[in-house]
Amino acid sequence: MTEFKKEQKEYYSEDFVALDLSHREIASIVFDDCTFDTCNLSETRFNECKFTDCRFVKCNLSVAKMGASQFSEVVFDGCKVIGVDWTRASWLGIVLHAPIKFYRCLMNDSSFFGLKVKGLVIKACQAQAVDFREGHFSGADFTETDFSNSLFMQTDLSNVDFTEAINYGIDIRFNQVEKAKFSRYEALRLLDLLDIELVD
């Protein structure tokens, strides 16, 4: 287990276990191939940090601030990532391929508004009231996730896999869903916003 020292600016292949940095500011630190296990990072302010090939396991990052921080091949597994505004991170103005992946996470009330993140993974998560408007997520893996009250408008969802996802409200008139994959019965939700009547 590695001890975190604020004055140290680079960490490589380190393991942080049960670290509590809640409500603290972490600035201009590079984390490469690091693992964070059961850490409390709630309301932590990450300013201009860089995370590469890192893994967060069963951590609490609720309402963490990602001010201009960069993420590349970062995995969140079993984490609480509630109320995070991912638009505040640094995406370098280019279309990245799956820089972040979420598995079995609680990520309600977060925002991906307007982001271009091809191949984003949000698998087996609770993603309620998440803002995906005007985003580009073609090729994403959204399987087994609960999207209750999440917002999709002018969103590129082409080739997205929604298999076994539930409770999504996607108006097919105002979102790109070409070649997206949906479970057969849940896909009836795609008709909910159309002025039509279904009969048996």
Contacts of 7 (CB under 8 A, 6+ apart): none
Running DSSP on this structure, what letter comes out for residue 127?
-
Q: Which domains are seen in the chain, by residue range?
A: 10-78 (2.160.20.80), 91-98+105-192 (2.160.20.80)
Residue 189 has pLDDT above 90, yes or no: no
Band (pLDDT 50/70/90 cuts) for residue 199 is: low
- Reduce the DSSP state of residue 10 to 3 states and report it: strand
Segment 75-102 mean pLDDT: 87
Least confident of 25-29, 43-47, 58-62, 186-190: 186-190
Neighbours of 134 (CB within 10 A): 16
Q: How far is CA 63 from the centre of its chain?
A: 13
Q: For residue 67, give the H/E element and its range.
A: none
Q: What is the pLDDT of residue 4?
A: 79
Band (pLDDT 50/70/90 cuts) for residue 92 is: confident
Structure-token pair, residue 123: 């698998």
Segment 109-119 mean pLDDT: 93
Segment 118-131 mean pLDDT: 96
Between β-strands 96-97 and 55-57, what pairing exists: parallel, antiparallel or unpaired?
Answer: unpaired
Give dist(CA 42, CA 65) in Å, integer: 9
Give dist(CA 118, CA 109) in Å, integer: 21
